[in-house]
Amino acid sequence: MELRDTVALVTGGLSGLGRATAQKLAESATHVVVLDLPREDGDEIAAQIAANVRYVPADVTQAEDVAAAVQRATELGHLRTVVNCAGVATPGKVLGREGVIPLQKFAKVLEINVTGTFNVVRLAAEAMAHSEAVVDANGTSERGVIINTASVAAFDGQIGQPAYAASKGAVAAMTLPLARELAAHQIRVMTIAPGIFHTPMMDGLPQAAQDSLGAQVPHPSRLGRPDEYADLVAHIVANPMLNGETIRLDGAIRMAPR
């Protein structure tokens, strides 16, 4: 699908995978709306990404926030691409040093990663379904593409990751039923499951720890770069046969128990 003269929406778009994705999409899309939690420097960061990037403060778990962001995107033009990068990776063992994990801690991860993702999907799909379809040079008709973010933890969950693994497993599991349903509206749905990537969360670790994590990747033996995630997003948008699937982007890593 061509991105020219279209609008893209990226959640978690001010940092990490989301920021790289917003920057990549801004090279082709007319407008990119980045949805992220409220922060005073949001507009400034968006301007640093690209001149055609706009920031909308929102919490993905709040229906009103996301509806407002989708409305803002549609006011700028046809919303054709949505990429869900917002999420948390809060660790927690079932039986930790301070006792059994609080149920709310588990529920919060699912609320953000699963409910938040679905909240964006449902409202974006509604907007896309009411837009005019576009036909590419090969005669393929489309209204939009939705790309969600899972994780290799969905398949190789480590000790201390029951909430995170469950949430990312749910994101991967909803991919096919969403793609099957939204096919009637000519909307594709895909999911990317990244391995170990260099995101702001990694910056809090010592360099030796980062190097050790990168060395666990068979090839290339390093941390993934956010722009490599963004490159895959761009290819998914461009390739109409990519639909209803979760792609591991991980350098062939299979996570150890801990």
Question: Is 229 in the active site?
Answer: no
Q: Give the residue from 115, 117, 123, 142 showing the smallest Cα distance to 74.
A: 123
Residue whose tokens read 């995101």: 199
User: Per the residue annotation, which of 55, 106, 118, 164 is the catalytic one?
Assistant: 164
Ramachandran assignment for 160, one of left (phi > 0), alpha (psi -120 to 50 degrees), beta (any other) = left
Q: What single string gives the DSSP state of each residue in the chain?
A: ---TT-EEEEETTTSHHHHHHHHHHHTTSSEEEEEE---TTHHHHHHHH-TTEEEEE--TT-HHHHHHHHHHHHHHS-EEEEEE---------SEETTEEPPHHHHHHHHIIIIIHHHHHHHHHHHHHHTSPPEE-TTS-EESEEEEEE--THHHHPPTT-HHHHHHHHHHHHHHHHHHHHHGGGTEEEEEEEE-SB--HHHHTS-HHHHHHHHHTSSSS-SPBPHHHHHHHHHHHHH-TT--S-EEEESTT------
Active-site residue set: 164
